[in-house]
Amino acid sequence: MQLTPAIIATTIFLLAYLLLIMKVTRPMYITSAAAALLLCSGALSRQQALAAINLNVLGIVGGMMILAELFVASRAPSFFAAKLVARVHTAGLALVVISVFSGVISAFVDNVATVLIVAPVAFDIAKRLNTSPMPFIVGVAISSNLQGMATLIGDATSVILATAADLNFLEFFWLKGRPGIFFAVELGAIAATIVLWLMFRHLKQPLSMQQTTPVITWVPTLLLIAVILTLALSSLIPNRPPNLIGVITITFGLLGIVWNAVWGHLRVRWHNLDWETLVFLTGVFILVGSLSATGVVASLAGLIAKFTGGKVLIAYLVLIWMSVLISAFVDNIPYSLAMLPVAQQVAVTLGCSPYLLMFGLMVGTSLGGNITPIGASANVVAVGLLNKHGIDISFGEFMKIGLPFTLTAVITASLFLWLVWA
């Protein structure tokens, strides 16, 4: 059998994916080595590799990572959370409120950063109630994963979708005269939050929450608001530069660093930020770019179209539930990058709206990670925080909360998308 570029690219991609799942070493080492193999083998040219790197995603992840760190150091998140929880009087309602708060923040801040922002408040509430923080922390993680897809800046996968579908900030809300993916996510969030309340309504312990966390400075909060407004306004610029949103976000991040060095003096350990994610993402872009460049994406799209018999509904359901299943065990960033071009190609083959299949794919991908403790980076961080507090959580314990939450959100969001975009 002749080793064509398509075979080489597919083999390297699957091998890298397997190593990522097995967690044999740091993810950035795996994707960097795989990218180097692609270039050395000749399956991908240097020009193709550079073209595959999405600077928008790298810019927005790096910039928001910096701003989120300043936001946490300012103590504003704890202040807001305490204000919200002070209005409820039982543990069950506190769990729901803190989860909703996590979701709201996650619509504008990276999911992992959101967990790190809200988790200290959740632990404090559990301590006051003298109860296990496990359901509170899991609620925070799965709510952050759910809402990350709501806006262009909520998560790396949102930027990936925006780039693939050529969406601006406002088009997440309203697109071509129809409700965008934001409304599908929010309806799913409402339904899933009701399920979360039903699961924990039995927690009747009384809660008294005093405001004990003074805010050091409001500047990071204002910077976050400013970057959100700037990104929204940049969407109105005709023929905007392709990497504008990445440049805007990283510029605000650098402004935050300069402000803190000169005036803020917040205790921020910049070296502890997850800089490895940027290297990991760069390698993933090259890996997925090799699948498109060698024709693997087009072939996979043809297989899916053939399997579904040319029926749009079947293709839609296959993409959603395949994504839910795979994302329960595999990180959603490389999966999104690999499958969005497939969804676009399937839409062309079937003659349906590409937004229907792409939005359905992303709903399944973003929410599927909530099923297991390894399905999303936010879940892994949440489990790690629990372990640091001496609490072990099994797959089964996590899934008791994550599975009904996920199924409710996916079914609700996918029904809405079908009614709007089919």
Q: Tokens 């088009």 sit at which residue?
A: 171
| Ranges 35-44, 114-123, 353-362, 406-415: which has the least confidence | 114-123
- Under the banding of pLDDT at 50, 70 and 90, the label for residue 378 is confident
Q: For residue 398, report the phi and psi dihedrals to the nearest 5 degrees.
A: -65, -45
Question: Of all residues in the chain, what percent carry a pLDDT higher than 90?
Answer: 16
- Angle, CA 182 vertex, CA 80 and CA 364 arms, to 5°: 105
Tens of pLDDT, residue by residue over 318-343, are 999 988 887 776 667 767 877 888 88
Which pLDDT belongs to residue 82?
73
Cα–Cα distance between 8 and 2 in angstroms, integer?
10
* pLDDT interval class at 10 (50, 70, 90): confident
Mean pLDDT of 129-147: 85
Helix and strand element counts for the chain (H, E)? 19, 2
For the chain, the domains span 44-263+273-421
Residue 275 CB contacts under 8 Å (≥ 6 apart), including other chains: none
pLDDT of residue 222: 93
Which CA distances in Å does 152 have to 122, 169, 212?
A: 27, 6, 34
Of 169 and 21, the structure prediction assigns the larger pLDDT to 169
- Check pLDDT > 80 for residue 370: yes
User: Averaged over 376-392, what is the pLDDT?
Assistant: 79
Residue 157: pLDDT band (50, 70, 90) is confident
- Where residue 306 falls among pLDDT bands split at 50, 70, 90? confident
Q: In the predicted model, what is the mean pLDDT of residues 250-264?
A: 91
Q: What are phi and psi of 10, to 5 degrees?
A: -65, -45
Residues of 128-151 as b/e, b for ≥16 C-beta within 10 angstroms? bbeeebbbbbbbbbbbbbbbbbbb
The distance of Cα 331 from the centroid of its chain, to the nearest Å, equals 10
For the entire predicted model, the pTM comes to 0.74
So what's the pLDDT on residue 124?
A: 73
The pLDDT assigned to 1 comes to: 57
When pLDDT is cut at 50, 70 and 90, the band that residue 166 belongs to is confident
| pLDDT band at residue 168 using 50, 70 and 90 as cut-offs | confident
pLDDT at 304 over 70: yes
- pLDDT recorded at residue 396: 83
Is pLDDT at 191 greater than 90 in this prediction? Answer: yes
Instruction: Give 153's DSSP letter.
Output: T
- Whether residue 213 has pLDDT greater than 70: no
Mean pLDDT, the chain, whole residue set:
83
Q: Is 390 left (phi over 0), alpha (psi -120 to 50) or beta?
A: left
